[in-house]
Structure 1
Amino acid sequence: MTHVNNILHFTILVWFAALLGCQNITRFDDPANTYTPETTYQKLIGEYPFIDIASRAVPVSVQEIKNITYIRYGQRALQLDLYLPKSALIQQKPGIVFVHGGGWRAGFRTNFTPMAIGMAERGYVAATISYRLSPEAQYPAAVHDVKAAIRWLRNNAKKYGVNPQQIAVGGGSAGGQIASLTGVTNGLEKFDPKAKKSSISSAAQAIVNIDGLSDFTSEAARFHEDDPRKNPSAAGAWFGGRYAEKTELWHEASPLFYVNKNTPPILFLISAQERFSVGHKEMIEKMKPLGIPYKVAQIPDSPHSFWLFDPWLQPSVDVVAGFLDQQFKITRSDNAR
């Protein structure tokens, strides 16, 4: 009888999670998924007593559409939330897909809600997505999911007023690395299993990497990401093994090694904590001779996860919107604010 009750309890939890459909965790009650603005605030408030959690309140100038399923894997539905400018002065608006962080194993798409709102206020259609975390599906499943989200947004461009030729992908921390890898692998079917069955491209026209790694293989990255005291480390859990065991995958997942003449423009928005953006300088050195546009912007005296908090959110939005406006040739008079 106890066994039956346990099964019933689990079934109810799964059903309830599907009904809510708003978070991307492997179990509805997964205690390991603790990467939120609230938990991060508690870690940072001692050193940064002036910070506030960025508001998720949606202003009247922005339309929020929540819990849209963008892809299914059997019974598993991955969803996104969409933020649209209500009064944009241009009919077709650029889009951006945001990928949350959390060490590839935690986090929620609502972590990027404040930035998505900020981008909508600047005239962008912004999507915050859930994707499969490492306890559910290891590398490269998350990249597959992000490409699927870009394809969904492009496929629904007319419905939501998106310019299908102006879709960026961005993210923070692990989400920054995933977003960057998604963008630099445009056209590579290995990272996009749905490509052969769809006429809709999953290519991103610009990349926003917010404090995410560009090279897993460097000594500086492995010092933290392959720490032998962690069993497994966050990266190790994602790859299914340490660097020595899964060297090929650690190399394969590093955006640094995909730079070519067709690489999209990249914004590196970084904190004052250098360990999180390892590899971006080396990546830029590869981009320079190819003439690929890039920008490095640092938020001074900031912690990792700065984009979750005021006073850093608005400067971050300004940098991201400014960079994308330039790449998409959008003048300030064209863009809602």
Structure 2
Amino acid sequence: MTKSFLVRQVFNAAAAVNALRPVPGMPTSVPAFLSGWLTSELAPQLLAATIVDAGVHTARYGVRSRTDRIGLALAAAASAGLTANIVAGRRAGAEMAAALAEIGVTDPASGAPLDWRSAARPFDFRRPEVRRVRNLAYAPGGTRFHADVYHHRDTPAGAPMLLQIHGGGWVIGNKDQQGLPLMVEMASRGWVCAAVNYPLSPKAVWPEHLIALKRAVRWMREERPRFGADPDFLAVTGGSAGGHLAAMVALTANDPALQPGFEEVDTSVQACVPFYGAYDFAGESGIKAVRQRVESALSEMILGKDAPFPEAYLAASPLAKVHAEAPPFLVIHGTNDSLIPVAEARDFVRRLRAVAGNPVGYAELRGAQHAFDIFHSIRTDQVIRGVAAFLGSVRAGALAEDAVPVSGRAM
């Protein structure tokens, strides 16, 4: 029995350390991500479990052997690491406030007490005022062209719209799995939000993913009377592959080559909030991890085996699509991201700020892993509050016209 306690605490301490300093590089990046993501965002729950486990063990068996002492020492180390993760998560509010202040946005809830009740129920996405309409077809083709709409039960007239694009490496994923905390929060504030599926690789070859999402933009504007939405304000967001696609939607508005059969439709968006996105599809940044991704089988799955390099790769790369008319952006990335390096986000923001006529905000979250926002946590809820402040300010036309930083923190 005492050995099982020791084994649990070995894994517990290793997970806490990995959450603070993820094991770098392939082939450990995926397990490092999975462990670090869950540990960092569920740190309060894991800390409570560790304390209870150590207390129960001590009450039952005492501290009679070297194994007991090592196990309790590891439990103490794990508790310290989990506490450090909690502290890092609590900093997210200040990090978001600083990023927003840089582009002239004030978060009215900045400095408010943390909602510990929400963080204590990480997978509870219900709000009594929010309605969810499932599996609406935004284009022919089956379930990969379905959307779920979240809206306030009162369907207020003139509601702004938000399009959520799921991640999954362009090859997996579903609208039901990601963006739920943000969708529910924005719907509770009167927004009409749509989480959409899109065709996946390898069956779908670029730019089929993007064309489908532009069809979703068209559908949202066409369907907006049903939900009382404003066709003139539509923002786009997404995480990981969804962050890449959100940026591409924002940067390729009304491109007729990407709108076959609906070239005259307005596919512009008024704001973009990509989370931990992939922005460099051609290796322009020179970042080692990015070059490895570009040269991997994943790129061939997305773009096709015969896609010419670099032309086809640049055509799918937000880094190559930055331009002066880009809508306001708020780019969000964590320093501990094991799957997409934070340096990639920094380079994208730097290049976009160099040309953009609209503000480009950048929130770099210390200690945040990839996919940190999939469920409620101390960090997630503060970041969502900041995103809501950003989108509200864009909607109100309140962004300072001269708030276009040429450089930012940690850039």
TM class, shorter-chain normalised? 0.7 to 0.9
Q: Distance in 1 between matches of 2:348 and 2:332?
A: 15
Describe the shift of the 1:299–1:158 C-alpha distance in structure 2 as closer, same or farther (beyond 3 A).
same
Give 1:270's aligned residue.
333
Partner of 1:168: 235
Q: What does residue 402 of structure 2 align with?
A: none
Q: Residue deviations 1:209-244, cap 9 Å, x none?
A: 1110222223215334135xx5x1x3331112499x
Q: Which residue number in structure 1 is paired with residue 130 of structure 2?
A: 62
Q: For residue 385 of structure 2, what is the amino acid of its counterpart?
A: D
Structure 1 contact 94–125 (Cα < 8 Å) conserved = yes
Which residue of structure 2 lines up, in the alignment, with residue 301 of structure 1?
367
Structure label with greater radius of gyration: 2
Distance 1:284 1:47, change over 3 A: closer
Higher relative contact order (CA 8 A, sep 6+): 2
Q: Output one character per residue of 1:173-203: Cα deviation in whole Å (capped at 9) or x when no partner.
A: 010001101110001111222323xx54222
Say whether the 8 Å CA contact 1:99–1:179 is kept in structure 2.
yes
Alignment of 1:85-100 (within 5 A): 85-87=152-154, 91-100=157-166
**Secondary structure of residue in 1 paired with 2:234:** strand
> Hey, what does 1:240 align to over in structure 2?
304
Which structure: greater strand fraction? 1
Partner of 2:194: 127
CA contact (8 A) 2:247 2:272 kept: yes
Deviation at 1:41, TM superposition (A): 5.9
Equivalent of 1:324 in 384, 391, 401: 391
Q: 1:155 deviation in Å?
A: 0.7
Separation in structure 1 between the aligned mates of residue 140 and residue 250 of structure 2, nearest angstrom: 22
Partner of 1:215: 280
Q: 1:158 to 1:276 in 2, by over 3 A?
A: farther
Unaligned runs of 5+ in 1: 1-39, 332-337
Distance (whole Å) between structure 2 residues aligned to residue 54 and residue 108 of structure 1: 19
SS of alignment partner, residue 315 of structure 1? helix
TM score, norm. by length of structure 2? 0.63
Shift of 1:46: 4.7
Note closer, same or farther for the CA distance 1:248–1:293 as it changes in structure 2 (3 Å cut): same
2:49 alignment counterpart? none
One-letter amino acid of the counterpart of residue 266, structure 1: F
The answer to whether the Cα contact below 8 Å between 2:132 and 2:150 also exists between their aligned partners in 1 is yes
Residue by residue, what CA displacement relative to the aligned partner does 1:106-128 show, whole Å, maximum 9, x if unpaired?
11111222321122122211110
1:282-335 CA-partner distances (Å, limit 9, x unpaired): 44444345422111112331101011132232122112211111111179xxxx
Give the corresponding residue for 1:10.
none
Residue number in structure 2 paired with 1:25: none
Displacement, 1:54?
3.8
2:271 and 2:327 in contact (8 A); partners too: yes
**1:275-294 paired onto structure 2 within 5 Å:** 275-277=340-342, 278-294=344-360
Structure 2 letter corresponding to 1:263: A
Structure 2 counterpart SS, 1:170: strand
Over 6 Å off, 4+ runs: none
d(CA) in 1 for partners of 2:185, 2:334: 19
**Contact map agreement 1:138 1:237 (CA 8 A) in 2:** yes
Aligned twin of 2:378: 311
C-alpha contact (below 8 Å) 1:80/1:127 kept by paired residues: yes
- Structure 2 residues not aligned, in runs of 5+: 1-32, 46-118, 399-411
Aligned pair partner of 1:104 in 148, 170, 174: 170
Identity of aligned residues (%): 25
Normalising to structure 1: TM-score of the pair?
Answer: 0.76
Query: Cα gap change, 1:106/1:330 in structure 2, threshold over 3 Å: closer, same or farther?
Result: same
Structure 1 residue 170: Cα displacement:
0.9
Aligned-partner SS, 1:178: helix
Q: Partners of 1:151 and 1:279 in 2: how far apart?
A: 28
Aligned residues: 283
- For the residue of structure 1 that corresponds to 2:326, the secondary structure is coil
2-side partners of 1:249 and 1:328: how far apart? 35
**Superposition CA RMSD, Å:** 2.6
> Larger deviation: 50-59 or 205-214?
50-59
- Structure 1 position 265, deviation (Å): 0.9
